[in-house]
Amino acid sequence: MAVAEPAVGEEVVVAAPVKKHNMATLYTHKSSNIRKTYLLFTLFFAVIIAIGFVFAQIYGNSNILYFAVVFSCFMSFISYWYSDKIVLSMAGAVPVDRNSNRELYNIIENLAITAGLPVPKIYIVNEPALNAFATGRNPQNAVVCVTRGLLEKLNKTELEGVLAHELSHIGNRDILISTIAVVLVGFISILADMFLRSMFWGGGRRRDSEGGGQAQAIMFLIGITLSILAPISATLIQLAISRKREFLADTSGALLTRYPEGLASALEKIGKDITPMRAAKNTTSHLWIDDPFPEKQRTSWLHKLFMTHPPIEERIKILRGMSV
């Protein structure tokens, strides 16, 4: 007993801090990301109401503002409850279960148990490119999606690294804000473009002879400016959210597997892969673990400004620094 007691004590001392450290790393930013989600909804409402108000003044029709408010509420409801289904449909993803891909299911199940998360639904995109993403509104309704190429070209430790990265997005509630951004940013862009086109068709030139010509011209210019800046601002918010969360998910995923080199090696293969993705869209590019449009050369400062992901070389360097 004198020998057995220290062994038991030692096991408790070693295991407990690791578990707490991983849990803290995975969930430290959960509350922050939930607040960011509410902030995104607030900004969305503010932009839509501002666009609606300006164009209600230009056209002299208050119904435009009412329509903008009602429709923004409707789109917020859709984006919260159905954005994951929209994203999966856009990607052409198909579900898999334990029977259809036992190895993939077992890896995700083991990682989810280690992370203290429910086992997410699993989907596959039939694409030869190497990529993956996570989506859903909360851990209980989460989805992890991988491409066929990822399963074929990564070894087990590399695949575990990628899947741990995606589970970290789920643990930190990145998935909700990133998936909602797809719907809301797309809607703002469409609405702004629709109003901008309507003004150039002459709809904004009303009542110049009624003594309000100067004020009307000012509102017209404000409307044009707002229509141009709204989708740009929404896109920049989307990209800022995406870049920061990738670094956090890399670190959390590496701590979850306790093997940073697995994810680093996977990112190396993903970064060298130039296979185009037919399933990828500009509005969903920030969801993937790496930019799904590798054929785009992003070397200028303007390209870097609109990158959906941080440079993959920087991500690999940070991961390998964790192994030292």
- Model confidence at 89, in pLDDT bands (50, 70, 90)? very high
Rounded Cα–Cα distance for residues 275 and 278 (Å): 10
The secondary structure of residue 307, as a DSSP letter, is: -
Q: Hey, is 29 helix, strand or coil?
A: coil
Q: Which of 6-10, 133-137, 177-181, 288-292 shows the lowest per-residue confidence on average (mean pLDDT)?
A: 6-10
Domain regions of the chain by residue span: 24-322
As a whole number, the mean pLDDT across the chain is 77
Residue-level pLDDT at 227:
66
Segment 129-144 shows an average pLDDT of 92
pLDDT at 2 exceeding the cut of 60 = no
Model pTM score: 0.74
List the beta bridge partners of residue 15.
none
Segment 97-126 shows an average pLDDT of 94
Task: Convert the pLDDT of each residue in 5-38 to its tens digit.
Answer: 444 444 333 333 334 444 444 455 566 666 766 7
Terminal-to-terminal C-alpha distance of the chain = 38
The phi-psi region of residue 87 (left if phi > 0; otherwise alpha if psi is between -120 and 50; otherwise beta) is alpha
Residue-level pLDDT at 17:
36
Rounded Cα–Cα distance for residues 180 and 170 (Å): 14
- Catalytic site residue from 160, 166, 261, 314: 166
Which candidate, 175, 160, 174, places its Cα nearest to that of 255?
160
Look up 166 and say whether it is catalytic. yes
Q: Using the CB atoms, write b or e for 247-275: b if 16+ within 10 Å.
A: ebbbbbbbbbbebbbbbbbbbebbbebee
Residue-level pLDDT at 259:
94
Task: Convert the pLDDT of each residue in 164-212 to its tens digit.
Answer: 999 998 988 877 777 777 667 677 777 667 776 766 665 544 444 444 5
Residue-level pLDDT at 51:
75
